[in-house]
Amino acid sequence: MPCVNGGGSQSIVRLDRAIVVEQEVALPPEAVRALSFWRARPGSILTVVDGQNARFRARLLENNRVFPFQSMADRTRPVVPLTLYQALPEKERFELVLQKCVELGVRRIVPYVSARSTTLQQRDSRQRKSHRWPDIVLKAARQCRRADIPQLGPVMTFDQVLAETALWDVAVMLYEGETAASLRNVILQPDIANAALLIGPEGGFTRQEVIQARHLSVLPVSLGPLILRTETAAIAGTAVMQWILGALE
């Protein structure tokens, strides 16, 4: 899948052995390459993963060595990776979605253009800001001590997004017109290996878009009776899904 920021598994600083706190260790070549995506320099603090998948906070030293000084809590069960598709909103609302959903543990974020959304050209017509999106993702990943940088996809069309949904075990779209299916009931299924969440623009999805999505097994769901702004829906929907999927234990 296309990625514009060098995120994903290639950004994990992974060691090939067990880590002992307060014992320096040399980074293998793959981990050294991962440092470039974090723009890390000697003295930087980052999260590293050892050969037993345990996570540690470590300080980067000279000569591609790290000094682990704190172990991090291990998860009790695997986390189901979540991809967020966000229709491009106006102003700087997408920047807020990027920041908060990275903090909430989303694995991949993809902006897209729908019938009622703005376009990348319209957003950048007065002042080009889309070039800042990878930096926002990186800074948010650093702030919340992630071991990986979430993938940021290129701007897609709605049709391209729907074509990708065939890759996911579960794909849902938040739709204010849905009155029967709730997000919780749809996600609570056994053996989900991955999931996707579609968020519409200001004004929501058109009826035709909902019908088109249903035909491709995307499930319209409700978060309740309140009408939320697109950025609020993205953050709230992500938080609910991450809790159900096990990322927010």
As a whole number, mean pLDDT of residues 48-71 equals 95
- The verdict on 206 and 108 lying in the same domain is yes
- The verdict on 109 and 225 lying in the same domain is yes
Tally of CA atoms within 13 A in the half-sphere of 218 that contains its CB? 26
Indicate if the pLDDT at residue 238 is higher than 90: yes
Question: For residue range 24-38, what is the model confidence (pLDDT) as tens digits?
Answer: 999 999 999 999 999
Q: Where are the beta strands (DSSP E) in the chain?
A: 13-14, 25-26, 45-49, 55-60, 65-71, 82-87, 108-113, 151-152, 156-157, 170-174, 195-199, 219-221
Residue 177's domain spans which residues?
82-245
Asked if 109 and 84 touch (Cβ cutoff 8 Å), the reply is: yes
Confidence of residue 222 (pLDDT cuts 50, 70, 90): confident
| Cα–Cα nearest to 175, from 233, 94, 119 | 233
Confidence of residue 179 (pLDDT cuts 50, 70, 90): low
Indicate if the pLDDT at residue 80 is higher than 90: no
Q: Is residue 1 part of a domain?
A: no
- The verdict on 101 and 171 lying in the same domain is yes
Q: Which of 22-36, 155-169, 181-195, 205-219 bottoms out in mean pLDDT, i.e. has the lowest?
A: 181-195
CATH number of the domain encompassing residue 187: 3.40.1280.10
- The verdict on 65 and 109 lying in the same domain is no
- The verdict on 233 and 132 lying in the same domain is yes
Question: For residue range 102-133, what is the model confidence (pLDDT) as tens digits?
Answer: 999 999 999 999 998 988 887 666 666 778 99
- The verdict on 54 and 109 lying in the same domain is no
